[in-house]
Amino acid sequence: MGGSPAQEEAMSSIRSAEHTYRQWSSPILLELKEREHQLAPMDRQALQNILLERRLINSGNPAGEDRRKAGSIGSGKHL
């Protein structure tokens, strides 16, 4: 990608670490979601923020093909 081999290797290492982190933390976060009623209000809000950021819960926003369909109303051929 234009960077030096050392930079590309470092980025690859970072991506690998992030992937491993997500693999291990996602089940833990989902377990916390099931027990959120036991959390303090601030902790519950922090958990919700993380779950939304990580897309582990449905935020109600369409994604992928659904997003394109939602925005396509009235954006067909110009008359």
Q: Is the pLDDT of residue 69 over 60?
A: no
The domain ranges of the chain are 27-54
Residues contacting 67, CB < 8 A, separation 6+: 61
> Does residue 61 have a pLDDT over 90?
no
Q: Which pLDDT tens digit goes with each residue over 28-49?
A: 998 999 999 999 999 999 999 9
- Interatomic CA distance for residues 46 and 42, integer angstroms: 6
